[in-house]
Amino acid sequence: MAKGAVVGTAAVVCAAAAAAVGVAVVVSRRRRRRREAEDERKRKAAAVVEEAEQAFSTPTALLRGIADAMVEEMERGLRADPHAPIKMLISYVDNLPTGDEHGLFYALDLGGTNFRVIRVQLGGREKRVVKQQYEEVSIPPHLMVGTSTELFDFIAAELEKFVGTEGEDFHLPDGRQRELGFTFSFPVHQTSISSGTLIKWTKGFSINGTVGEDVVAELTRAMERQGLDMKVTALVNDTVGTLAGGRYVDNDVVAAVILGTGTNAAYVEHANVIPKWNGPLPRSGNMVINMEWGNFRSDKLPSSEYDKALDFESLNPGEQLYEKMISGMYLGEIVRRILLKLAHDASLFGDVVPPKLEQLFILRTPDMSAMHHDTSHDLKHLGAKLKDILGVPDTSLEARYITLHVCDLVAERGARLAAAGIYGILKKLGKDKLLNDFSQQRTVVAMDGGLYEHYKKFSSCLEATLTDLLGEEAASSVVVKLANDGSGIGAALLAASHSQYAA
């Protein structure tokens, strides 16, 4: 081979080798940049998660401080302090069901776009609830923005139809008027056990002519127009109804807590420690207080940047701050806001932020619960939820585990804060410790609401936290138990315990 050809071949080989080295260097640099970018992304994700962990932390000492603040605000509300965030409304329920109630009683449960009509036949201590029936009725949308007369005439007509299907299993003694407990879950200024004026409509209702009027009088006039002879003997809200339903089943019930879309609590207070109570003390010596605890606020509450933004963008900024941390309406939304920051700052779901993740309230608490309860090794159910709800077709295992951890942070904080509130009620009642002789009467808190009933990790955490706050000995005599649908039957039971025919 000629010398020139050899040199040419060598040059080609050298050039090819140099090119290969160059490509390898480029590939190596790209890999290093990708590795560095991935490390930076993971560092940013870890920073967001760590910041959330600190902001959502609820050490036991903090919870004790929150419980003490709850007691202080309860006492302010009972004094009628105009600046008290917890209103501590007097329910005028001084006779809770005992189990001795006899007879046929009705309930009407109006709290949203549907209402329920219920009847129960009570058979006294031995037979208890002999039979019960109910029907659910949807309110036509036009009646939610119409007139007061139209709405109450529609309700009375449906009630009259329901009474017409009474059947042989239900018996009204001769000469007696049917009696009704009215659960009305809108803000009301109650003036007696069977009267109260509407403060404002909520939940999509906007009806002319009812605000400032007695809602019992409105319903009574509508029943009269229908020719329905029925007397409203108790006007209650759903939490007071839950307390009544719980007490009927278990005489040791002292409080009721609803943890659902919203949250509230009611409890049995000694009437002589209610400074704003005017008039003679009730014979029972007790009075049920409707706390309206969702509006509790304290600088001890661990408010994060996500809570502040949610509150600022809400329909009622500065109000219901406690509710916004612990209730089903908001837990999923808080998770969404943390995931959105992770998507923006750390590309958790890829280089493009999923457009659906920007939508307010797209992640509901039932979906959060379903993700949180995924026990599969690869969290495939959680991944499927992210795909269905947020439109993320393929999530990494890391993204799924981070999402699970975020659900855990938000649910645990909510459950522990709710437990601190319950502990505050027990402290107010002196039920948080053993008596001097180391005995303690059994104390029961009746729970209702879909969040508590269906979100098992939430309810388990709440119960464990309450045990921790009480201590093992005191906790051994405190029972937290589900009183499912207590508010519906509770109104009928209160109609019975406040019956015009009661002895």
Q: Which residues are catalytic?
A: 203, 238
Q: How far apart are CA 498 and CA 179, in angstroms?
A: 10
- Mark out the alpha helices in 313-455 (DSSP H runs): 323-326, 331-346, 365-372, 380-390, 397-428, 450-454
Q: How far apart are CA 216 and CA 219, in angstroms?
A: 5
Paired residues of 255 in beta bridges: 267, 445
3-state DSSP of 17-32: HHHHHHHHHHHHHHHH
- The Cβ of residue 288 has, within 10 Å, a number of other Cβ atoms equal to 25
Q: How far apart are CA 103 and CA 130, in angstroms?
A: 10
Tokens, residue 268: 């049995």
Please answer whether residues 313 and 363 qualify as being in contact, where contact means their C-beta atoms are separated by less than 8 angstroms: no
Tokens, residue 475: 């906790």
- The Cβ of residue 9 has, within 10 Å, a number of other Cβ atoms equal to 11
Tokens, residue 297: 């606020």
Q: Per residue in 236-256, is it b (16+ CB within 10 Å) or e — as a string?
A: bbbbbbbbbbbbbbeeebbbb
Q: How far apart are CA 417 and CA 63, in angstroms?
A: 7
Tokens, residue 331: 């837990």
Closest-CA residue to 482 (of 298, 253, 318): 253
Q: How far apart are CA 177 and CA 175, in angstroms?
A: 7
Q: How far apart are CA 14 and CA 21, in angstroms?
A: 10
- Mark out the alpha helices in 269-329 (DSSP H runs): 305-312, 323-326
Closest-CA residue to 429 (of 244, 295, 273, 251): 273
- The Cβ of residue 50 has, within 10 Å, a number of other Cβ atoms equal to 10
CA dihedral 104, 110, 114, 118 (to 10 degrees): -10
> CA of 57: how far to CAs of 44, 45, 47, 161, 412, in Å?
20, 18, 15, 53, 9
